[in-house]
Amino acid sequence: MPHVDRAVSPWWQRPGLEVHAGRLAVCGQDAETLARRLGTPLFVTDVDRVVENARRLRAGFRAAGFGLTLPPAIVRFALKANRQPAVLAALRRIAPPGDPEAVGIDACSPGEVELALAAGWRAGEISFTGTNLSDRDLDRLLPTGVHLNLDAVSQVERVGRRAPGRSIGLRLNPGRGVGYHEGLAYSGERPTKFGIYADRLDEALAVAGRHDLVVDTVHVHAGSGWLADALPAFEAVLDRVRTMAEQVRGAGAPLGEVNVGGGIGVPARAEEPPVEPADYASATRERLRPLLEAGVRVACEPGDFVVKDAAILLAEVVTVEERGGTTFVGLDVGWNNDCAYFIYRFAQELVVCRAADAPRDRVVTVAGHINEAGDLFAEDYAMPEVREGDIVALLNAGGYHQEEASWHCLRAPAPGIHLVRQPELPA
């Protein structure tokens, strides 16, 4: 039986997502009113929050000395997390190309590269890291001039045959991982499909040398969604990366960048500890210090950290009914629009818009309208009284939601609106 909150002070409140007279407000607008006017399901994105999050990360690096005693860290947004035009435009406006404050792009497919170029990023601001690339992928990628991080020895060979002499990066698998849970670790003791392992790194370097490829970057993405309590595991990843990067430098490669990937998580529940950007940056500085002192720059590729808590998904309660001793709350949206729990097993916070700070004294299971038993958003979850017709907000819907939406069961992908903050509603 879960803990039932009998007095609620919403832990998730922030500028742009607040409670006014008991009701949920987003960007100064009443969330339920938006849903009634525009229909459900509906994504609502706080564009200002996207920019705030990117700047918070940049400020964390500055607090750790990057851009002061060390070269500025390179921040590239993981485009797969959110490709909505309003989001991309806001990130592009942070600073122009060439400015140290500019946010670049991490792309993982030819389509993402083409989208980033069309959205105003220059090729030199885009880093590509894909997996299992086909010749058709390379036909589209190589002419763009975008920097490629290659994650298999065979990829190094194929790129070398087609584009000898160009600069490349190597995606490494350090044999250690970190994630929200074990299933979201992209490297570790269990072999994964990503990256070049230490026992084949010399081979990859030899293949690159045979084709006059210049290895100027090492890249790692060890997992997704990890929080502050996993910072030691991230540091252990960086220790392995440092060792492998020194191996690359020892082979004579002019290493100029260590890309530590993304994966910084966003709390989904009150008890989950957030990663403080300054702590993340300081850990990166300390673990990679020998490389930094040799002039190597640090880059990172946040996705969820920038966009996840910037959006909510509004849905209508269409069923409240007891079945087998469990109270089910059914919504007019399914995992085809919000797969956070269905696929990734991320916890998710749900808020009744008319009673955003009400005591959570009922225990329910919240389900969607896809015709599969696993279409759930929360199980044994504490909520206030919920009635059919209520509007519920699913928080942390800004990353890997709209981008992964499908027509499964011919349920349509939900539309979205993008807001900037309005003056506060009266209390």
pLDDT in tens, 229-244: 999 999 999 999 999 9
Tokens for 425? 């509603």
- Kindly state whether residue 9 falls inside one of the protein's structural domains: no
Q: Are 360 and 381 part of one and the same domain?
A: yes
Q: What is the mean pLDDT of residues 148-173?
A: 98
291, 307, 323 — which closes off a domain? 307
Cβ within 8 Å of residue 141, ≥6 positions away: 110, 113, 128, 133, 148
What Å distances lie between residue 374 and 36, 324, 336, 368, 369, CA to CA?
28, 17, 12, 9, 11
| Range of weakest confidence among 139-143, 172-176, 319-323 | 172-176
Does residue 41 contact residue 315 with C-beta atoms inside 8 Å? yes
User: What's the pLDDT score for residue 177?
Assistant: 85
Q: What CATH number does residue 415 fall under?
A: 2.40.37.10
Q: What are phi and psi of 168, to 5 degrees?
A: -140, 165
Is 3 within 8 Å of 382 (Cβ atoms)? Answer: yes
- 77 & 158 share domain: yes
Name every residue whose Cβ is closer than 8 Å to that of residue 407 and which is 6 or more positions away in sequence. 336, 413
305: closest CA among 396, 237, 233? 396
**Rounded-to-integer distance, Cα 261 and Cα 284, Å:** 11
6 found inside a domain: no
The pLDDT > 70 percentage for the chain reads 97
pLDDT at residue 426 greater than cutoff 60: no
- Would you state the pLDDT for residue 423? 58
Q: Which residue has the tokens 């490709």?
A: 83
Tell me which of 282, 307, 332 is where a domain ends: 307
So what's the pLDDT on residue 28? Answer: 96
Where residue 231 sits, what CATH number does that domain have? 3.20.20.10
Q: State residue 8's pLDDT score.
A: 56
Question: Measured between alpha carbons, how far is 184 from 226 in angstroms, rounded to an integer?
Answer: 9
Range of the domain at 315: 17-46+308-419
Q: Is residue 12 part of a domain?
A: no
The residue among 307, 332, 366 that closes a domain is 307
pLDDT at 345 over 60: yes
What are the structure tokens assigned to 37, written together?
A: 């006017």
SS3 99: coil
pLDDT at 197 over 50: yes
Give the pLDDT mean for 47-68.
98
What is the Cα–Cα distance from 174 to 195, expressed in whole angstroms?
8
pLDDT (average), residues 298-312: 98
Q: Are residues 42 and 54 in the same domain?
A: no
Number of structural domains found in the chain: 2
d(CA 227, CA 234): 10
Tokens of 83: 């490709």
First to last CA, the chain: 35
**Residue 9 confidence (pLDDT) above 80:** no
For residue 287, pLDDT over 50 is answered with yes
Using pLDDT thresholds of 50, 70 and 90, give the confidence band for residue 145: very high
Average pLDDT over residues 314-339: 97
Are 192 and 323 contained in the same domain?
A: no
The residue-averaged pLDDT of 397-413 equals: 94
Q: What is the mean pLDDT of the segment spanning 126-152?
A: 98
Res 425: pLDDT: 47
pTM metric for this prediction? 0.94
Cα separation of 308 and 274, whole Å?
13
Q: Residues 340, 45, 57, CA angle at the centre, nearest 5°?
A: 80
- What mean pLDDT do residues 128-152 have? 97
DSSP state of 214: E
Same domain, 318 and 413: yes
Q: Measure CA 129 to chain center.
A: 15
What pLDDT does 7 receive?
Answer: 45
Q: Please say whether the beta carbons of 191 and 239 come within 8 A.
A: no
Question: Stretch 105-122: mean pLDDT, rounded?
Answer: 99
**Please, are residues 280 and 228 in contact by the beta-carbon 8 Å criterion?**
no
Verify that 30 and 85 share a domain, yes or no: no
pLDDT of residue 422: 67
CA distances from 105 to 147, 159, 360 (A): 11, 21, 41
Residue 5 included in any domain: no
User: 237 with 366, same domain?
Assistant: no
